[in-house]
Amino acid sequence: MTTIDSPTRVTLSLDIIRRLTDGPYAGYHELGIVKHRIALADTLSVEPLDDGTQADIVECDDPRVPRDGGNICVKACRLVRERFGRSGFFRISIDKRIPVMGGLAGGSANAAAMLRALDSIWELRLTAGQFRDTGRELGMDVPYFFDGGTAFDSEAAGALKPIDTAIRLYLVLAIPEFGVSTKEAYGSIDYGRVAQNVSLTDGMIEALSRNDFDGVAGAAHNDFELTVFERYPRLREIRDGLKAAGCAAACMSGSGSTIVGLAADRRGAERIAGKVDCETIVTETLPSPIEPPVRRV
């Protein structure tokens, strides 16, 4: 059996630039996102099936995770078999800690981890470029996880640039009682209101480069809040509650629904978490790119 962790990320700033109208990714969106890896991870256990089963099997303790061909790990297996001429099926067990439909890219993190596991099991020896290109076919957020750490990512527009920072941020992840589907969030975009805070994203990159906590807090924002908060006012309440409880800043991660609060230290983050009226996870950012080890057990 092969096991691998799949640490995820938060978004510290997010601009919706435009919807692409031509090229291979027509219909997708050019974004401007600052992403930061965090110490919150699922664990995948991958076991080859030798009983003649002709399909991958998914096991997960969270009933919201697909267990059929729609699961992104199954899609990764299918893609690698077709692209690299391998055969065999797997039992994939997912120990789920990353909230589902929370804007934390748990599925994309799982897909990247699955590709790393398959690379090890089938001895593919994929290059960094092959990992990114294969991952992009599974989702626009997947290539980031092969560089990790802190990065600016335009997703479908193709720009993925690391940001050199040694900052450590302590985070309160406030998880509401519901999720927001990616399809719903993108379907509600008001293009007349977005892309007005690109300068804040530039400021976020500069602040991270200077390891400037106050600068990071001052630049945190997310364009999806403009419409998602209108549909889900509870999310605005949670964001404002985090700020009132002592967070230096708070904004939604990705397309929602998790709200990320920035705290000055872990003790402060834990104190704030105790004041918020929803489920919380206290975590921190990982200051440098870390490739999760593939373990054989």
Res 118: pLDDT: 98
2-162 under CATH 3.40.50.300, yes or no: no
Closest CA to 257 of 282, 284, 225: 225
CATH code assigned to 170-284: 3.30.70.890
The pLDDT tens digits of the residues spanning 120-155 come to 999 999 999 999 999 999 999 999 999 879 999 999
Structural contact between residues 209 and 164, judged by C-beta atoms closer than 8 angstroms: yes
Closest CA to 189 of 164, 226, 156, 162: 226
Q: Which residues contact residue 204 at a Cβ distance below 8 angstroms, ignoring those fewer than 6 apart?
A: 12, 13, 34, 215, 216, 219, 220
DSSP category for residue 44: E
Structural contact between residues 154 and 17, judged by C-beta atoms closer than 8 angstroms: yes
Structural contact between residues 168 and 182, judged by C-beta atoms closer than 8 angstroms: no
Alpha helices in 139-221 (DSSP H): 182-187, 198-209, 213-219
Two tokens, residue 28:
């997708």
3-state secondary structure of 187: helix
Res 292: pLDDT: 76
- Provide the sign of the torsion angle of the four alpha carbons 174, 71, 295, 287, taken in this order: negative
Q: Cis (ω within 30 of 0) for the bond into 87?
A: no
Count of Cβ atoms closer than 10 Å to residue 22 Cβ: 7
Res 52: pLDDT: 82
pTM of structure: 0.95
Res 146: pLDDT: 94
> Strands (DSSP E) along 20-87, which ranges?
29-49, 57-60
Stretches where the chain sits below pLDDT 70 are 287-290
Structural contact between residues 72 and 92, judged by C-beta atoms closer than 8 angstroms: no
Res 290: pLDDT: 63
- Location of each CATH 3.30.230.10 domain in the chain: 2-162
Res 188: pLDDT: 96
Q: Measure the CA–CA gap between 287 and 295, rounded to whole angstroms.
A: 23
- Location of each CATH 3.30.70.890 domain in the chain: 170-284
Q: Measure the CA–CA gap between 18 and 30, rounded to whole angstroms.
A: 5
132: left (phi over 0), alpha (psi -120 to 50) or beta: alpha
